[in-house]
């Protein structure tokens, strides 16, 4: 429907441009802002439809890419491997499995992920402006904003990535029984050998096996200690040797997958213990198990979403799936004052300009924090605004040459006030999957923003103008403060201190936008008494052509605007 509206509007304006009569420069206001201050008693209502979309950004410090290169929005979530870097509470499990397998360089991984994101923002501002005097007007803008993030998320894309899966012993009775049986068998074997060795030490002739056992009592003692530590670390009760959460296969949410190197190494060690006990106990060896119960499959997309969402896994966030939100954006209230106008405020003179003319105005706007920012529990959604109280100063200048050409120059400086917001504190900008304990209330000071905008316009006739459009935007770095100490009981591995200052990284942005549009206006016809309702329709397309900063999106936007005028007091 939006594309149809844009197409119809463009065709209609172009048709009018062909058949209408030549006109003066100020009979048609072009796209973008300008220095015009509404005359006393005039009310202008503006409504816009602004559709913006983006799926790339200008990156910074991304491995393998130069700074400023375009990269997919989902690049931070597209990972070759998910391990202890993304889930620090896997450190204890990784350490335990390194000892259980006898491989000190084994690394835990849940597999790989691929995430593609495309964001759309549809904004519908309603603007009311009124001229209070010859030089001063006021206005209020109330935007309604709808944001949509479309997400494609896949995990273990080839089906063979990852060496860890869900622990079946936490949900399947047969798996828990096998692990309990293994622990009982190892415990019985160790107790039996320990009792036999003690008996032989007390009475070397107590058994025919005593001479051999006593000759190898150092090895027997080591076997007892090692097998107890191994069984305790693998399937033992809470307090097992290799993991602060107890035996890996008994309490960990993840265990090695059947057939993987780690599981095969652990099963090989079980067989080695079994053989050693047989050498001492012979047919009395109680160990018959082949090892602990492994995970039966690699993680699926559904599993990956579950890991993100369920608090037991430490992230406690929303799944990575498409999300839509609608809400009022940040509301602007402000005023505009005419400093100089070579037309002397005369509408008649403005409608038929001659020679060189210039006007300039200044304005101030207060932005109210009425929007919704992105949720700290949703890593990919887009807010309807920044939700920050700001003050913005503006300067406007219009230069008119003859009756056909004019150009506007706009400068804006935006200064946000500080506030407190709940956010997840990451150590680096690309570490998006921040655990729940990193969600804290931090003090926020958004960076100031400078914008320069210009729009050259050619007036074709009484009704139509063609416009170019350019904007330069520079946003300074944000500043976040707050230091928090998280105990090991919460992190699952050790005490850590996190500093909100890391959120400052890659918040500075630079952007160049280029676009163009077409305008239709019947203001001149209304001035001549030939139209009953004065209005303007404008269409503008623009896009980002250059950017920097790491988080600066490459925007594409279409905008359709309708302006209606009415006199509410004062003379003509």
Q: Which residue has the tokens 């900008």?
A: 429
CA-derived radius of gyration, the chain:
35
User: What is the spatial distance between Cα 286 and Cα 195, in angstroms, rounded to a whole number?
Assistant: 14
Burial string for 455-491 (b: 16+ CB within 10 Å, else e) reads: bbbbbbbbbbbbbbbbbebbbeebbbebeeebeeeeb
With a CB cutoff of 8 Å and minimum separation 6, the contacts of 387 are: 330, 369, 370, 371, 372, 373, 421
Write the DSSP symbol of residue 155.
E
pLDDT at 14: 39
**What residues form DSSP beta bridges with 423?**
440
pTM as predicted: 0.85
For residue 388, the SS3 value is coil
CA distances to 49, 258, 410, 461 from 539, rounded to whole Å, are 10, 61, 19, 17
Which tokens sit at 86?
A: 């993304």
Which tokens sit at 424?
A: 């997840």
Whether the CB-CB separation of 443 and 481 falls below 8 Å is answered with: yes
**What residues form DSSP beta bridges with 403?**
none
pLDDT at 31: 84
**Strand boundaries in 314-354, DSSP class E:** 323-328, 331-341
Could you please report the per-residue DSSP string of 283-324? GG-------SPPB-S---HHHHHHHHH-GGGS-----SS-EE
Return the ∠ at Cα 430 (arms to 425 and 432), rounded to 5°.
55
Write the DSSP symbol of residue 476.
P
pLDDT at 16: 37
CB atoms within 10 A of CB 521: 25
User: What is the spatial distance between Cα 347 and Cα 359, in angstroms, rounded to a whole number?
Assistant: 13
How many residues are listed for the chain in this entry?
Answer: 572
With a CB cutoff of 8 Å and minimum separation 6, the contacts of 121 are: 50, 51, 52, 53, 145, 146, 147, 148, 382
Whether the CB-CB separation of 197 and 220 falls below 8 Å is answered with: yes
For residue 384, the SS3 value is coil
Which tokens sit at 12?
A: 């209609």
pLDDT at 355: 85
User: What is the spatial distance between Cα 143 and Cα 331, in angstroms, rounded to a whole number?
Assistant: 7
With a CB cutoff of 8 Å and minimum separation 6, the contacts of 52 are: 120, 121, 122, 123, 555, 556, 557
pLDDT at 571: 63
Write the DSSP symbol of residue 533.
S
* Helix or strand run (H / E) with residue 360: strand 356-368
Closest CA to 170 of 98, 275, 272, 246: 246
With a CB cutoff of 8 Å and minimum separation 6, the contacts of 158 are: none
CB atoms within 10 A of CB 55: 17
- Domains of the chain with bracketed CATH: 2-86+117-155+326-567 (2.40.160.40), 164-297 (no CATH)
User: What is the spatial distance between Cα 316 and Cα 83, in angstroms, rounded to a whole number?
Assistant: 17
Write the DSSP symbol of residue 20.
S
User: What is the spatial distance between Cα 375 and Cα 366, in angstroms, rounded to a whole number?
Assistant: 24
CA distances to 243, 372, 465, 487 from 438, rounded to whole Å, are 23, 21, 53, 12
- pLDDT tens per residue, the chain (572 residues)? 334 444 433 333 333 333 444 445 555 677 888 988 998 999 999 999 999 999 999 999 888 889 999 999 999 999 999 999 888 888 889 999 999 999 999 999 999 999 999 999 999 999 999 999 999 999 999 999 999 999 999 999 988 889 999 999 999 999 999 999 999 999 999 999 999 999 999 998 878 889 988 999 999 999 999 999 999 888 877 544 444 345 899 989 999 999 999 999 999 999 999 999 999 999 899 999 999 999 999 999 999 999 999 988 889 999 999 999 999 999 999 999 999 998 876 666 666 778 899 999 999 999 999 999 999 999 999 999 999 999 999 999 999 998 889 999 999 999 999 999 999 999 999 888 899 999 999 999 999 999 999 999 998 888 899 999 999 999 999 999 999 999 998 988 889 999 999 999 999 999 999 999 999 988 767 777 777 888 899 999 999 999 999 999 999 999 999 999 898 887 65
Which tokens sit at 97?
A: 């499995």
Q: Which residue has the tokens 């005023």?
A: 335
User: What is the spatial distance between Cα 571 and Cα 230, in angstroms, rounded to a whole number?
Assistant: 95
For the stretch 244-252, contacts whose Cβ atoms lie closer than 8 Å and that sit 24 or more positions apart, written own/partner, are: 244/92, 245/92, 245/492, 247/179, 247/183, 248/93, 248/96, 248/97, 248/100, 248/292, 249/167, 249/169, 249/179, 249/292, 249/293, 250/169, 250/176, 250/179, 252/93, 252/96, 252/167
Segments in 168-260 forming alpha helices (H)? 173-202, 210-215, 217-235, 248-251
pLDDT at 303: 93
Which tokens sit at 570?
A: 């004062």
User: What is the spatial distance between Cα 234 and Cα 252, in angstroms, rounded to a whole number?
Assistant: 10
Instruction: Please count the CA atoms within 13 angstroms of the CA of 175 that sit on its side-chain side.
Output: 16
Which tokens sit at 217?
A: 């009592």
Which tokens sit at 13?
A: 């304006």
């Amino acid at each position: 429907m939006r594309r149809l509206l844009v197409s119809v509007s463009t065709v209609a304006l172009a048709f009018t441009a062909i058949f209408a009569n030549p006109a003066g420069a100020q009979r048609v206001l072009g796209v973008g802002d300008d220095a015009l201050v509404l005359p006393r008693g005039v009310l202008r209502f503006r409504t816009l439809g602004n559709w913006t979309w983006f799926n790339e950004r200008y990156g910074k410090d991304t491995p393998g890419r130069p700074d400023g290169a375009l990269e997919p929005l989902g690049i931070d979530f597209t990972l070759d491997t998910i391990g202890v870097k993304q889930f620090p509470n896997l450190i204890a499990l990784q350490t335990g499995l390194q000892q259980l397998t006898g491989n000190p360089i084994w690394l835990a991984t849940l597999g790989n992920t691929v995430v593609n994101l495309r964001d759309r923002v549809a904004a519908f501002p309603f603007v009311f402006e009124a001229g209070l005097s010859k030089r001063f007007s006021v206005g209020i803008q109330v935007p309604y904003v709808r944001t949509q993030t479309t997400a494609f998320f896949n995990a273990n894309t080839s089906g063979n990535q990852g060496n860890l899966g869900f622990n079946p012993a936490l949900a399947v009775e047969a798996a828990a029984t096998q692990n309990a049986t293994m622990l009982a068998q190892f415990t019985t074997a160790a107790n039996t050998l320990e009792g036999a060795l003690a008996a032989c030490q007390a009475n070397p002739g107590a058994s025919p096996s005593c001479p051999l056992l006593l000759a190898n009592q150092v090895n027997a003692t080591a076997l007892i200690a090692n097998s107890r530590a191994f069984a305790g670390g693998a399937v033992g009760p809470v307090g097992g040797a290799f993991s602060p959460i107890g035996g890996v296969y008994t309490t960990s949410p993840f265990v090695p997958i059947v057939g993987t190197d780690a599981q095969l190494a652990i099963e090989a060690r079980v067989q080695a213990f079994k053989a050693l006990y047989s050498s001492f106990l012979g047919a009395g060896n109680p160990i018959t198990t082949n090892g602990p119960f492994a995970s039966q499959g690699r993680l699926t997309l559904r599993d990956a979403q579950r890991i993100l969402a369920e608090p037991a896994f430490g992230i406690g966030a929303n799944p990575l799936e498409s999300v839509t939100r609608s809400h009022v954006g940040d509301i602007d209230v402000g005023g505009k004052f005419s400093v100089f106008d070579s037309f002397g405020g005369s509408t008649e003179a403005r409608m038929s300009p001659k020679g060189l003319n210039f006007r300039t105005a200044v304005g101030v706007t207060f932005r109210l924090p009425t929007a919704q920012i992105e949720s700290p529990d949703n890593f990919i959604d887009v807010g309807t605004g920044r939700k920050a109280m700001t003050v913005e100063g503006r300067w406007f200048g219009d230069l008119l040459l003859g009756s056909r050409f004019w150009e506007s120059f706009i400068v804006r400086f935006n200064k946000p006030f500080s506030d407190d917001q709940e956010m997840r504190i990451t150590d680096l900008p690309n570490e998006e999957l921040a655990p729940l304990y990193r969600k804290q209330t931090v003090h926020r000071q958004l960076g100031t923003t400078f914008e320069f905008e210009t729009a050259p316009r050619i007036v074709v006739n009484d009704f139509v103008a063609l416009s170019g459009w350019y904007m330069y935007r520079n946003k300074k770095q944000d500043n976040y403060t707050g230091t928090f100490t998280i105990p090991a009981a919460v992190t699952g591995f050790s005490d850590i201190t996190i500093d909100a200052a890391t959120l400052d990284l890659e918040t500075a942005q630079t952007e160049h936008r280029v676009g163009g549009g077409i305008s239709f206006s019947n203001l001149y016809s209304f001035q001549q008494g030939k139209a009953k309702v004065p209005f303007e329709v404008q269409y503008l397309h623009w896009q980002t052509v250059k950017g920097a900063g790491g988080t600066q999106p490459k925007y594409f936007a279409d905008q359709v605007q309708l302006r209606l005028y009415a006199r509410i007091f004062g003379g003509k």
